[in-house]
Chains A and B, each alone.
Chain A
Amino acid sequence: MGATRRVFLAGLAALAARPAAGAVGFRLGLTPVFLDNDAGIIESLRAALSDSMGAPVVFEQRRSYQEVTGLLLEGSVDAAWLCGFPFLLHESALTLLAAPVWRGAPLYRSYLIAAVDDPAQALSDLAGGAHAFSDPDSNSGWLVTASDLARRGLRPESFFARTIFTWGHRNVVRAVASGLTRSGSVDGYVWEALTEAEPGLTARTRVVAQSELLGFPPFAARADRAQAAEIAAFRHALLGLADTPDGRAALALLKLDGMAPANRPLYDGIAERMRDVEAFR
């Protein structure tokens, strides 16, 4: 019975994975971690990618990285825009397709933010307050702060009076701006993009500390399908996004320069932080 079921599930997964670009189109997993407040941005990216691929691209948005990673691993989506952290967590099963280029390089930072009138100068000043994380599988929205604390022998749950997950970088900014939490861990790229898109929101927050440059959240696919034609086509579409007017318009909305090939060493910094957290656990 169990064996039958496993076979059945595998078959389902294979069925789901196989004709990806067929009836439904190419499915890309996303989380609301990025700029999730403007449907126009998402639609513009989807349209540009569809044009480049010559086939419809369907976005599958989920609340958390865990869900999106799950979709990718089980084959419910063909590729996903992941964070470097969950990519590394499932490194063996996944392959890198491309990484967005932001301000000239496929790199970004994590910001530690507090209310604009908060006197804190460093992470240590924020002890005892409430803290907003973005996602437990987010590098900039959890791992950076958690590893900073782990390196000092501290855990977020005890260092902060209360930690909450807001399931989105913009939500972290909202939590801090509204005073729901004293501080938050946020994607530096999102925070900077928000200063242009919603200056009123970020103006109520202040960057207390910045991490070193780390690998930008990449597009990834399952390793076993790395050679599939539609995956290659998608990778080609991504890397050529800056070459089409629609692609450039979508990138401009995303405040990105373009897409670059991504390699494993780009994420060494994140891997190091993962090791530090793991070691303390």
Chain B
Amino acid sequence: MIAPGLRRLPLVARAPLLSAAATALVGLVASTLVLSAQAQLQEDRLRELVRLHVEGLSVALAPAVLRRDVWEAFDTLERATAAGGGRLALTVAADAAGRVLAASDPRRAPVDAPLDTVATGAQPIDRLAIPSSITRLRVLAPLVHQGRQVGSILTELDVGDLVAERRRAALWLMAGNGLATLALSLASWLLMRRALRPLAMLATRMHAGETPAPIPDRDIPRGDTEVARLFCTYNAMAGAVEARIDAERRLAERERFVSLGRLASSLAHEINNPLGGLLNAADTLRRFADRPDVVRSSTALIERGLRRLREVAQATLDHHRLDDAEAAMTPDDLDDLRLLISPEVARLGQRLEWAVEADPPSLARWPAARLRQIALNLLLNASAAAGRGGRVALDLAAAGGGLRLAVRDDGPGLDAAALARLTGAGPTAPGGGLGLRVVRDLVRALGGRIEHARTGSETAIAVILPGAAP
């Protein structure tokens, strides 16, 4: 029923358009009826006029036609035409043989001329119709005297005024319809706009920012309970959305600690390892304090161990501290990442492949905190999936002004729930980890996308960040 193009229009425009179309259609039908009635009326009127004219003329003309009295016929015709009030443009009387006896304008229909030459296009009186294209109408009627046809009467009627009247009526109707259509459309538009104002407000509020904005109290109508209820419901929903987003944000915050927590044991291990060496070195120093060579080598050993400890501590601190500061990504951040994941990988006896082909400028266009979080979560996930003795790989490459970060593992692959968390937009199913969902949200916030591929025994999750950084 409704054209697809129309369906795309907003309701506030569609309703007036439909009402305009309906009004125009009704107007058209009504106008057609009026015009056809007018034409019928005019034709009836004209037929009656011609009939009276011919009947009157027949009485006056018949004796003259029978006597072939040219003057008498002319005199009658001329006076009858003059009395016709301008409607009769020409009247011609012809005898039974079809020859002109006289005409109200003899120059147009000379005496003795064949009637056919002046009667072209003449309509019979009983089937009279007024075409809108002509202003002169010719009507041919028999001249009957005492029940016998003694000749013919041709009448040329000036119907210019009737045609003009029709045209005028058509114009007025058209103008009236146009105005009515316009007025109704306008009224309908105003009405619809008024009726749809709450909807328009809802639509505006819904797209006000990243989250639906609640409708201020002053805009909630007091009297209209339906709209008021709708607005209150909307406000409640907007509040819920805001709360959910807030919760997700807090969850993401927490996830950072969760991932660190997951690293804690291996980090403790990492710290513990040099501690044994350091304690040994300290013992050696105490015992061989008089031997400079031993002191020197032990001090160097202690220094190296301490340095290592400081690096681990620094990486952990950095990961936590980078929270909100939108510091740019540097190669050092990648080293930190490697340092953070290495103990876990080592603990599980896994092989780590590390391929970075991105220069500092292309890294610097991205915020370090978010990118590190993305990479760390993916690496931890890959490491967990790969299992003992598995393989974990990171490929980072600059591509077309953007970045492509891929993390691969030879684990069994992502299950449906995990994949949904990583790529889906729906709510997170309870029970699962939040790491992948955080990755998804962070990537979306950066304007990037995630590709997941399972080739052979390898799972690859690629994060593609676009050329134009947000």
**Chain A interfacial positions (CB closer than 8 Å to B):** 130, 132, 162, 164-167, 171, 174-175, 178-180
Contacts A166-B75, A178-B78 known; 7 new A-B pairs at CB < 8 A: A132-B71, A162-B70, A171-B75, A174-B78, A175-B74, A179-B110, A180-B111
Contacts of A132 in B (CB 8 A): 71
Contacts of B107 in A (CB 8 A): 178-179
Contacts of A179 in B (CB 8 A): 105-107, 110
Which chain B residues numbered 129 to 143 have a C-beta less than 8 Å away from chain A? Answer: none
* Separation of A267 and B163 alpha carbons in the complex (Å): 60
Contacts of A164 in B (CB 8 A): 70-71
- 3 smallest CB-CB distances across A and B, nearest first, come from A179-B107, A180-B106, A179-B106
Contacts of A130 in B (CB 8 A): 111
Contacts of A174 in B (CB 8 A): 75, 78
A–B complex contacts, Cβ < 8 Å, 25 sampled = A130-B111, A132-B71, A162-B70, A162-B111, A164-B71, A165-B71, A166-B71, A166-B75, A167-B71, A171-B75, A174-B75, A174-B78, A175-B71, A175-B74, A178-B74, A178-B78, A178-B105, A178-B106, A178-B107, A179-B105, A179-B110, A180-B70, A180-B71, A180-B74, A180-B111
Interface check B102, CB cutoff 8 A: yes
Closest chain-B Cβ to A151's Cβ sits at a distance in Å of: 27
* Separation of A165 and B110 alpha carbons in the complex (Å): 17
Chain A residue nearest to B75 in the complex (CB):
A171
Chain B residue nearest to A167 in the complex (CB):
B71
* Separation of A240 and B78 alpha carbons in the complex (Å): 40
* Separation of A223 and B78 alpha carbons in the complex (Å): 42
* Separation of A166 and B75 alpha carbons in the complex (Å): 9
Contacts of A162 in B (CB 8 A): 70, 111-112
Tally the A-B contacts, defined by beta carbons under 8 Å: 32
* Separation of A162 and B75 alpha carbons in the complex (Å): 17
Closest chain-A Cβ to B105's Cβ sits at a distance in Å of: 7
* Separation of A180 and B110 alpha carbons in the complex (Å): 7
Closest chain-A Cβ to B72's Cβ sits at a distance in Å of: 9
Contacts of B102 in A (CB 8 A): 180
Contacts of A165 in B (CB 8 A): 71
Chain B residue nearest to A178 in the complex (CB):
B106
Closest chain-A Cβ to B148's Cβ sits at a distance in Å of: 25
Which chain B residues numbered 38 to 73 have a C-beta less than 8 Å away from chain A? Answer: 70-71
**Chain B interfacial positions (CB closer than 8 Å to A):** 70-71, 74-75, 78, 102, 105-107, 110-112
* Separation of A180 and B75 alpha carbons in the complex (Å): 10
Chain B residue nearest to A133 in the complex (CB):
B71
Closest chain-B Cβ to A84's Cβ sits at a distance in Å of: 24
Contacts of B106 in A (CB 8 A): 178-180
Contacts of B71 in A (CB 8 A): 132, 164-167, 171, 175, 180
Interface centre among B70, B78, B106, B112 (most CB of A within 10 A): B70
Closest chain-A Cβ to B191's Cβ sits at a distance in Å of: 65
Chain B residue nearest to A180 in the complex (CB):
B106
* Separation of A178 and B79 alpha carbons in the complex (Å): 12
Chain A residue nearest to B70 in the complex (CB):
A164
* Separation of A94 and B75 alpha carbons in the complex (Å): 34
* Separation of A132 and B70 alpha carbons in the complex (Å): 10
Contacts of B111 in A (CB 8 A): 130, 162, 180
* Separation of A179 and B106 alpha carbons in the complex (Å): 5
Contacts of B78 in A (CB 8 A): 174, 178
Closest chain-A Cβ to B38's Cβ sits at a distance in Å of: 36
* Separation of A242 and B83 alpha carbons in the complex (Å): 38
* Separation of A165 and B399 alpha carbons in the complex (Å): 116
Closest chain-B Cβ to A67's Cβ sits at a distance in Å of: 16
* Separation of A178 and B111 alpha carbons in the complex (Å): 12
Closest chain-B Cβ to A250's Cβ sits at a distance in Å of: 27
Contacts of B75 in A (CB 8 A): 166, 171, 174
* Separation of A108 and B313 alpha carbons in the complex (Å): 149
Interface centre among B71, B78, B102 (most CB of A within 10 A): B71
Closest chain-B Cβ to A206's Cβ sits at a distance in Å of: 16
Chain A residue nearest to B110 in the complex (CB):
A179
Chain A residue nearest to B102 in the complex (CB):
A180
* Separation of A166 and B72 alpha carbons in the complex (Å): 8
Contacts of A167 in B (CB 8 A): 71
Contacts of B74 in A (CB 8 A): 175, 178, 180
* Separation of A167 and B70 alpha carbons in the complex (Å): 12
Closest chain-B Cβ to A152's Cβ sits at a distance in Å of: 26
* Separation of A167 and B110 alpha carbons in the complex (Å): 21
Contacts of A180 in B (CB 8 A): 70-71, 74, 102, 106, 111
Chain A residue nearest to B74 in the complex (CB):
A180
* Separation of A132 and B106 alpha carbons in the complex (Å): 13
* Separation of A193 and B183 alpha carbons in the complex (Å): 66
Chain B residue nearest to A172 in the complex (CB):
B71
Chain A residue nearest to B103 in the complex (CB):
A180
* Separation of A175 and B75 alpha carbons in the complex (Å): 9
* Separation of A164 and B67 alpha carbons in the complex (Å): 13
Contacts of B110 in A (CB 8 A): 179
Closest chain-B Cβ to A125's Cβ sits at a distance in Å of: 19
Contacts of A171 in B (CB 8 A): 71, 75
Contacts of A166 in B (CB 8 A): 71, 75
* Separation of A171 and B74 alpha carbons in the complex (Å): 10
Closest chain-A Cβ to B43's Cβ sits at a distance in Å of: 31
* Separation of A162 and B111 alpha carbons in the complex (Å): 10
* Separation of A58 and B105 alpha carbons in the complex (Å): 37
Closest chain-A Cβ to B94's Cβ sits at a distance in Å of: 15
* Separation of A171 and B73 alpha carbons in the complex (Å): 13
Interface centre among A132, A171, A179, A180 (most CB of B within 10 A): A180
* Separation of A171 and B72 alpha carbons in the complex (Å): 11
Closest chain-A Cβ to B335's Cβ sits at a distance in Å of: 119
